């Protein structure tokens, strides 16, 4: 099957999942064409079945604000026609589902089917700015199939948009061969890692605050992985609270499994998560997770079994949960082992990718029947 994937290239979960899904589909024999405005963060090597196409965003003096969504639609239409795509799988309802709809109308393949995967931030936009609501709803309704990465996100989408369209829950996945326990870690202070794109919704400053409280009781190190608008404020806060010598800002890391292999615990502080890819990858690596009860996180981290959850913004609670795991290393190790088992059993790549394939095959059969009756 020939599949197009439209996604953002940044280090957030949607772009990572989209490109790694594309790579997995190519490995399973499909022809996959990834479209974005730059090569995605974790994009693997190009092969005869795995291709990348860059969206060029034109800039004209007449247009004060360049239109990425329209540029993506035009580029998608060309890729669809040149490569005879059967499926367009877009990640984010807005603007990508709308871009896919326009691309289908412009292309010479009206039988093209559109699959839209909701990740969370696309739906959050509507709560923050109602001007996106009608376009987001339109993109969802015009898709031939819609998936969400958690039941929480499915239910939230239905409630906010008042739609009855079926939304299938397909969770994010992890390559458990790549993300795996590293065995004995090097000696030293307890090592905590926070992975995010440093947007306000990830609340990275809460990670610094919780770490400062923890340091009143235990020696520890905190590694902050990622970049984004809150990075400068996070650096300043670490210095203000006097913990900057024990906080490392590591920037973006494509091979995050290396950092997880040398960590003892993952700390997630988000106020909204459609799923929570960083906690899942940490679980696969055998780490216990301390996180906030933020949307879909509760469907990933089993509270009391694979980690500990606290309320959003409760930095004292986050610190207390980390402290208990430091003081009870056997319990922490058991949580890490349970997290690994849960990640492999419920979210393994070989379990999740075929769920998408079944959707593609169903849509392709429907297109074939429609063509036969034409």
Backbone angles phi, psi at 133, to 5 degrees: -60, -50
182 confidence band (pLDDT: 50, 70, 90) = confident
The answer, yes or no, to whether residue 51 has pLDDT greater than 80, is: yes
The answer, yes or no, to whether residue 178 has pLDDT greater than 80, is: yes
Give the ranges where 177-230 is alpha helix by DSSP (H): 204-214
The answer, yes or no, to whether residue 127 has pLDDT greater than 70, is: no
Instruction: Name the average pLDDT for the chain.
Output: 92
Give the neighbor-by-neighbor strand order of the sheet with 220-225: 247-251, 220-225, 190-195, 265-268, 289-292, 307-310
**Contact by Cβ (8 Å): 220, 193:** no
More confident residue, 267 or 67: 267
CATH class name, domain 2-173+349-373: alpha beta
3-state helix, strand, coil in the chain (%, to 5): 50, 15, 35
12 confidence band (pLDDT: 50, 70, 90) = confident
Q: Is 160 exposed, middle or buried (0-12, 13-18, 19+ CB in 10 A)?
A: middle
Separation CA 32–CA 104 (nearest Å): 17
Q: What is the pLDDT of residue 9?
A: 87
Average pLDDT of the segment spanning 62-88: 91
Separation CA 225–CA 124 (nearest Å): 23
57 confidence band (pLDDT: 50, 70, 90) = confident
The number of C-alpha atoms within 13 Å of 251 and in the hemisphere containing its C-beta is: 2
What are 132-152's pLDDT values in tens digits? 888 899 999 999 999 999 999
What are 159-170's pLDDT values in tens digits? 988 899 999 999
175 confidence band (pLDDT: 50, 70, 90) = very high
Share of the chain above pLDDT 70, in %: 97
CATH class name, domain 190-347: alpha beta
Separation CA 51–CA 19 (nearest Å): 11
What are 37-46's pLDDT values in tens digits? 988 877 878 7
The answer, yes or no, to whether residue 11 has pLDDT greater than 70, is: no
Does this model's pTM top 0.85? My answer is yes
- How distant is the alpha carbon of residue 238 from its chain centre? 27
187 confidence band (pLDDT: 50, 70, 90) = confident
The answer, yes or no, to whether residue 124 has pLDDT greater than 90, is: no
CA torsion through residues 89, 92, 24, 254, sign: positive
Separation CA 227–CA 179 (nearest Å): 22
What are 327-354's pLDDT values in tens digits? 999 999 999 999 999 999 999 999 999 9
Q: What is the pLDDT of residue 374?
A: 58
The answer, yes or no, to whether residue 373 has pLDDT greater than 70, is: no
The answer, yes or no, to whether residue 325 has pLDDT greater than 90, is: yes
The answer, yes or no, to whether residue 183 has pLDDT greater than 90, is: no
Share of the chain above pLDDT 90, in %: 79
The domains spanning 2-173+349-373 and 190-347 adopt the same CATH topology: yes
Q: What is the pLDDT of residue 327?
A: 96
The answer, yes or no, to whether residue 157 has pLDDT greater than 70, is: yes
Domain ranges of the chain: 2-173+349-373, 190-347
């Amino acid at each position: 099957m020939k599949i197009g994937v439209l996604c953002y290239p940044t280090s957030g979960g949607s772009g990572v999942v989209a490109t790694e899904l594309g790579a997995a589909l190519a490995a399973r024999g499909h022809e996959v064409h990834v479209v974005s405005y730059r090569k995605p963060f974790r994009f693997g090597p190009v092969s005869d079945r795995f291709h990348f196409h860059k969206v060029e965003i034109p800039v004209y003096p007449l247009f004060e604000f360049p239109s990425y969504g329209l540029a993506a639609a035009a580029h998608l239409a060309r890729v669809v026609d040149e490569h005879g795509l059967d499926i367009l799988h877009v990640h984010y309802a807005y603007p990508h589902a709308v871009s896919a709809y326009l691309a289908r109308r412009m292309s010479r393949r009206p039988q093209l089917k559109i699959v839209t995967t909701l990740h969370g931030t696309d739906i959050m936009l509507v709560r923050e700015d109602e001007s996106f609501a009608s376009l987001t709803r339109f993109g969802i309704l015009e898709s031939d199939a819609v998936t969400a990465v958690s039941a929480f996100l499915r239910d939230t989408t239905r409630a906010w948009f008042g739609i009855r369209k079926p939304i299938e829950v397909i969770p994010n996945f992890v390559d458990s061969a790549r993300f795996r326990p590293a065995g004995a870690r090097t000696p030293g202070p307890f090592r905590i890692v926070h992975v995010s794109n440093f947007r306000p919704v990830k609340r990275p400053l809460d990670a610094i605050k919780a770490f400062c409280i923890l340091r009143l009781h235990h020696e520890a190190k905190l590694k902050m992985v990622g970049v984004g608008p809150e990075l400068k404020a996070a650096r300043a806060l670490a210095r203000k609270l006097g913990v900057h010598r024990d906080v490392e800002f590591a920037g973006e890391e494509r091979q995050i499994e290396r950092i997880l292999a040398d960590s003892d615990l993952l700390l997630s502080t988000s106020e909204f998560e459609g799923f929570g890819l960083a906690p899942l990858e940490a679980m696969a690596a055998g780490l216990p997770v301390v996180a906030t009860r933020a949307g879909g996180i509760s469907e990933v981290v089993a509270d009391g079994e694979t980690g500990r959850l606290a309320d959003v913004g409760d930095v004292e609670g986050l610190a207390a949960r980390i402290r208990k795991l430091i003081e009870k290393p056997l319990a922490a190790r058991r949580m890490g082992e349970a997290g690994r088992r849960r990640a492999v059993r419920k979210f393994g790549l070989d379990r999740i990718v075929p769920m998408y394939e079944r959707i593609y095959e169903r849509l392709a059969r429907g297109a074939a029947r429609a063509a036969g009756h034409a």
